Amino acid sequence: VKFGVLGTGMVGAAVGGKLASLGHEVTLGSRDPIGKAAVFPSLRVGTAQDAAAFGEIVVNALPGEQSLLILRGCDLAGKIVIDIGNYDSAVDQPIITPLGQAIQALQPKARVVKTLNSVSAHLMVDPQRLQGHHSVFIASDDAEAKQVVKGILVEFGWKDIVDLGGQAAFRAMEQLIPLWMALESTLGSTHFSHAVVQDGLSPKG
């Protein structure tokens, strides 16, 4: 599959590198394609517009506020957009419109799927590095696109993929960020994740 990965930071590098290692074709989107080509010699690097045009699937690995500006200039009609982003402001301010919903409103013909936004970059693409059970959330109004993205999560090694339904769940997913930041501060590490634990019994059972 052809992927355009927007952003060359921790998330873009991890996801782009993993996708390429799995045999997918990847173009990273950067503000500095020439400079970043030297940093990622095994990957194609272009502008965000180049990467979006290249990808059958486009990954948003940009800072949230910037991603709205950058995605505005990309043609995403008909493409699956995997939104991993969070607003920087979500750390300590209320979310007015969740980022994933804002991207969907900006690009009504894009097929936005939100996932991985509350997982540390190194664990996104290698969940087994954290021993024990942990979970990744996913949501989208587009059931078929969500299924495709679940397949990619399985390729990454995810076993517990918790489907939260449609884009109404984007808010809950993005509101995990203050908790994630508090845990990072308390634990002094990014090597942790969230787990959903059930025992199979209903409350009335």
Ligand X SMILES: NC(=O)c1ccc[n+]([C@@H]2O[C@H](COP(=O)([O-])OP(=O)(O)OC[C@H]3O[C@@H](n4cnc5c(N)ncnc54)[C@H](OP(=O)(O)O)[C@@H]3O)[C@@H](O)[C@H]2O)c1
The site for ligand X (CB under 6 A) is made up of 7-12, 30-32, 36, 61-64, 66, 84-86, 117, 119-121
Quote the least distance from Cβ 202 to ligand X, whole Å. Answer: 33
The CB-of-151 to ligand X minimum distance in angstroms stands at 20
Q: Which is nearer to ligand X, 100 or 200 (CB)?
A: 100
* Phi, psi (deg, nearest 5) at residue 42: -95, 0
Q: Which is nearer to ligand X, 36 or 111 (CB)?
A: 36
- Taking only Cα atoms into account, the Rg of the chain, rounded to an integer number of angstroms, comes to 16
94, 126 in Cβ contact below 8 A?
no
Residue whose CB is less far from ligand X, 55 or 64:
64
**CB of residue 176 vs ligand X: minimum separation in angstroms?**
10
CB of 58 to ligand X, least distance (A): 14
Closer to ligand X at the Cβ: 82 or 145? 82
The least CB distance from residue 14 to ligand X, in Å, is: 8
Do residues 127 and 194 touch, judged by C-beta distance below 8 A? Answer: no
* 28 Cβ contact partners less than 8 Å away, ≥ 6 residues apart: 5, 6, 7, 8, 12, 16, 36, 40, 43, 44, 45, 46, 51
Structure tokens at 41: 């010699």
Would you say 80 or 99 has its CB closer to ligand X? Answer: 99
> Which among 91, 92, 95, 54 is positioned nearest to 76, based on CA atoms?
54
